[in-house]
Amino acid sequence: MRHLLDRQRRAPAVLALVVLLLTLAAPFARAATPAPNPNNKPAEGKHYVVGTDTTFAPFEFRAANGDLVGIDMDLLHAIAQDQGFTVEVRSLGFDAAVQALQSRQVDAVMAGMSITEPRKQVFDFSDAYFDSGVQFAAPKTSSVNSLADLKGKRVAVKTGTAGADYADSVKTQYGFSTVAFGQTADMVNDVSTGNSAAYIDDFPVVAYSIQQGAPMKLIGEKAPAGSYGMAVNKGTDPELIAAFNQGLANIRANGEYDRVLAKYLGEQGTTQRTGFFTLLADSFPTLMKGLALTIAAAALSILFAMVLGVVFGFFKVSGNLALSWLATAYVAIFRGTPVLVQVFFFYFGIPAVTGITLTAFTAGVITLSLNAGAYMTEIVRGGIQGVDRGQMEAARSLGLPYMKAMNKVVLPQAIKIMTPSFINQFIITLKDTSLLAVIGLAELTYMGQQIIARNFRSFEMWLIIGVIYFIVIGLLTIASNKVDKRFNK
């Protein structure tokens, strides 16, 4: 009992001592917890791949020297420098960039992407870096001066954009229909040729195109369309979003943000159009870079396609049921599906399932090789079967083994039959490289699109590109025919 009473007497003293110790330790405990550091850089030292549009001036477009520039690009690089991370930008087109993000080919998308509630269900967005609106435009010489004048007419819109959403929301009210395109330049061209009466795009883009000489006028009032933000997949890369937001706040504070906007949206006069030959001279270096990549992709694809064609061609005539079925299935798949679908499958589909990313060049070469290889398989099969069966029988009757008879007797004759078809397939594959522009491969067609996005001179530029293709394919045909004549003399 006495011990219990002693403990009860000591309890208040002990409690007082504990309270005193906690009070004395509190300042040290607070000091041990680091205070928030506004200079903390959550993404410092990291590297990110960012997808963007191909033709969305003044937010992203190619300068005359081929560099990707614009409001989005300048802000992105300024923020990356401020926050100490590095970026690789892939110019893919808006739809392709979004698909690339969802398939984890890129870490983020920055392409004038409006922040909307449906998109927030799929992506995490940064703070808004630009408040935009959408605006209709029509040819200067047209009778369309208001939205009411669009009744019964067609309006060009850009797939997946706020402008397309707004046009859909008012088309019943004003009685017009819409047609979707993938790029701003395509909408402008469609309106310029009279196929559509007007187009709608983000106001800065429309204003910039008019500034660059597009023969358009603004119609109607600018409609609010939300704000732009950088997007990442839901629940991924919070460090990048935090770094972007912090860097954006910093460049707003130090004036860099205002300098970037003034560079592209400042008061400038309308650009005067130069002559055709000046356009050709200015564009020639850029187009030659694209042509070099076109030839490289076509050459590699043809080389691999020949190997595939010979292997699977022999499978089809081997007499082995399993090998014949394998070759038949290969041919059926790659001849029975469009090249564009195959490109998207290898560039977007494979990474989404396996996590293995492919460059645009690699995905393009794989696609063209497999596609052309299917056709070459049939060329090889047709060439071998085109040789009279009696040739093989005669060779075997003379005592030659099957493979020796095939190499010495059948194949030399079959090659003569195959050569014209091979040449034709070479030409087709070279032209098919233009489809790789949809995944951002900077080949000849892609480079032409970039130039058109900058100056909106589509007729002259497509004429130049068509002539380049014609000359290259003509030279290839002449060279192939000389080789054919010499080989099959």
Mean pLDDT, the chain, rounded, equals 83
Can you tell me the distance from the alpha carbon of 408 to that of 411, in angstroms, rounded to the nearest whole number? 7
Look at 293-297, 405-409, 467-471, 473-477 and tell me which has the smallest mean pLDDT. 405-409
**CB 367, CB 437: distance < 8 Å:** no
Can you tell me the distance from the alpha carbon of 209 to that of 165, in angstroms, rounded to the nearest whole number? 21
Q: Which helix (H) or strand (E) holds 405?
A: helix 402-405
DSSP state of 274: P
pLDDT of res. 18? 38
Q: Nearest 5 degrees, angle CA 177-CA 138-CA 143? A: 90
Q: Give which of 296, 285, 306 is closest to 422, Cα–Cα.
A: 306
pLDDT band for 138, please (50, 70, 90 cuts).
very high
Can you tell me the distance from the alpha carbon of 148 to that of 165, in angstroms, rounded to the nearest whole number? 18
C-alpha distance from residue 237 to each of 81, 111, 433 (Å)? 18, 18, 34
Residue 156 token pair: 């060009």
Look at 24-33, 114-123, 292-301, 405-414 and tell me which has the smallest mean pLDDT. 24-33
Q: Which residues contact 248 (CB under 8 A, 6 or more apart)?
A: 75, 79, 126, 127, 129, 257
Q: Give me the phi and psi of 470, to 5 degrees please.
A: -60, -45
Can you tell me the distance from the alpha carbon of 447 to that of 472, in angstroms, rounded to the nearest whole number? 16
The CATH number of the structural domain formed by 130-228 is 3.40.190.10
Percent of the chain with pLDDT over 70: 89
**CB 214, CB 456: distance < 8 Å:** yes
Look at 77-81, 145-149, 446-450 and tell me which has the smallest mean pLDDT. 446-450
Question: Which pLDDT tens digit goes with each residue over 50-63?
Answer: 999 877 888 988 87
3-state secondary structure of 85: coil
Question: What is the fold of 47-127+232-260?
Answer: D-Maltodextrin-Binding Protein; domain 2 (3.40.190)
The pTM (predicted TM-score) of the whole model is 0.67
CA dihedral defined by 47, 49, 53, 54, rounded to 10 degrees? 90
Question: Which pLDDT tens digit goes with each residue over 349-390?
Answer: 888 788 787 888 999 999 999 999 999 999 988 887 877 777
Considering the domain 276-487, what is its CATH architecture? Answer: Orthogonal Bundle (1.10)
Look at 138-147, 191-200, 220-229, 262-271 and tell me which has the smallest mean pLDDT. 262-271
